[in-house]
């Protein structure tokens, strides 16, 4: 089927108390792996690309990959811009056909974050394309942005005002997760998540989920997270597959051979995380 937007996927998830997995893809094999894993489990799924991935190959290449993969299956697949770092990039993705846009103004002062988010919302909503924003800073290094040491968590009352003023569809919250590989076990402020949920009605998004224990992710979903982002572990899985193959067959020159193993590793990982999100069987297959 054609690519769908994330709007209904996440509202359905909110009603059904599950989450939809959002998986960062960096090449064709990863797109195939994620969509094939979701299809095997009859799950809705979100593909997403960060600005650095977009810079590597172009929005149009990734959109074309996602569209081709979605059209071969009967589950809902959405294509999302992750951490859009400017109004211009958000508009480029929107024009190319991305069906979901994140504008990340979390590095900016509150008023500037409100204003850039509202500008993207005002541009996307007439075409029914939903928008995700972030308030508070997720730690670690996501793409070219760096949360650095100044890493405040999302304030519930600020979150309420932010959503009311921007009319944003989904809100990414900072509750102690970080992008990249964790040094120890991450400690999340789950009470804060519940406090945000109590005053913010839109679906909430968890970033930095690679390395967060599955039970903690389930707890977050129970407290209002409807979209769960995984990136680092997909990179690790793909690289593991490729490097294992090349170690065993160092003479190989055919990229299809090692690409296929990278793809298999990503597929297995994504299948497991779809189960954690609780969205297996929620793919409402369509003709």
Looking at the Cβ atoms of 236 and 260, the one nearer to ligand 13P is 236
Q: Is 21 in the site for ligand 13P (CB under 6 A)?
A: no
Using CB under 6 A, pick the residue from 21, 76, 136, 208 that binds ligand 13P.
208
Residue pair 137/106 in contact by the 8 Å Cβ criterion: yes
Q: Is 100 in the site for ligand 13P (CB under 6 A)?
A: no
Looking at the Cβ atoms of 47 and 245, the one nearer to ligand 13P is 47
Question: What Rg value do the Cα atoms of the chain yield, rounded?
Answer: 18
Q: Which of residues 142-201 bind ligand 13P (CB under 6 A)?
A: 142, 179-180
# chain residues binding ligand 13P, by CB under 6 A: 15
Nearby residues of 130 by Cβ (< 8 Å), 6 or more positions away: 5, 6, 7, 10, 100, 101, 124, 169, 170
The H or E element spanning position 226 is strand 225-230
Residue pair 160/200 in contact by the 8 Å Cβ criterion: yes
Nearby residues of 234 by Cβ (< 8 Å), 6 or more positions away: 23, 24, 25, 26, 30, 34, 210, 266, 269, 270
Q: Is 53 in the site for ligand 13P (CB under 6 A)?
A: no
Retrieve residue 133's tokens: 């924003």
Question: What's 203's DSSP letter?
Answer: P
Output the smallest distance, CB 263 to ligand 13P, in A: 18
Q: Is 24 in the site for ligand 13P (CB under 6 A)?
A: yes
Catalytic site positions: 82
Using CB under 6 A, pick the residue from 36, 113, 210, 216 that binds ligand 13P.
210
Residue 31 sits at the vertex; the CA angle it makes with 121 and 48, to the nearest 5 degrees, is 20
Residue pair 6/170 in contact by the 8 Å Cβ criterion: yes
Which one of the spans 188-196, 207-215, 236-244, 256-264 is the region binding ligand 13P (CB under 6 A)? 207-215
Q: Which of residues 103-142 bind ligand 13P (CB under 6 A)?
A: 142
Looking at the Cβ atoms of 140 and 241, the one nearer to ligand 13P is 140
Interacting residues toward ligand 13P by CB under 6 A = 24, 82-83, 142, 179-180, 207-210, 229-233
């Amino acid at each position: 089927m054609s690519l769908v937007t994330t709007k209904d996927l996440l509202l359905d998830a909110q009603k059904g108390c599950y989450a939809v997995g959002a998986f960062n893809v960096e090449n064709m094999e990863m797109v195939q792996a994620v969509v094939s894993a979701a299809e095997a489990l009859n799950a809705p799924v979100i593909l997403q690309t960060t600005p650095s991935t977009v810079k590597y190959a172009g929005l149009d290449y990734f959109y074309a990959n996602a569209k081709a993969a979605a059209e071969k299956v009967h589950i809902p697949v959405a294509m999302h811009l992750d951490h859009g770092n400017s109004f211009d990039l958000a508009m480029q993705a929107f024009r190319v056909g991305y069906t979901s846009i994140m504008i990340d103004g979390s590095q900016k002062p509150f008023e500037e974050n409100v204003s850039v988010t509202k500008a993207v919302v005002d541009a996307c909503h007439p075409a029914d394309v939903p928008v995700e924003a972030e308030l508070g800073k997720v730690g670690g290094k996501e793409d070219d942005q760096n949360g650095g040491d100044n890493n405040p968590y999302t304030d519930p009352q600020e979150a309420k005002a932010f959503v009311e003023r921007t009319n944003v569809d989904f809100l990414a919250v900072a509750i102690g997760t970080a992008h990249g590989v964790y040094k120890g076990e991450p400690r999340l402020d789950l009470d804060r998540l519940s406090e945000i949920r109590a005053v913010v009605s839109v679906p909430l998004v968890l970033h930095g989920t690679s390395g967060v224990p599955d039970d903690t992710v389930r707890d977050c979903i129970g407290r209002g997270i409807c979209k769960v982002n995984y990136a680092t572990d997909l990179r690790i899985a793909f690289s593991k597959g490729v490097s294992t193959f090349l170690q065993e067959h160092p003479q190989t020159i055919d990229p299809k051979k090692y690409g296929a193993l990278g793809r298999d590793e990503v597929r297995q990982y994504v299948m497991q995380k779809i189960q954690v999100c609780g969205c297996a069987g929620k793919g409402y297959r369509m003709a």
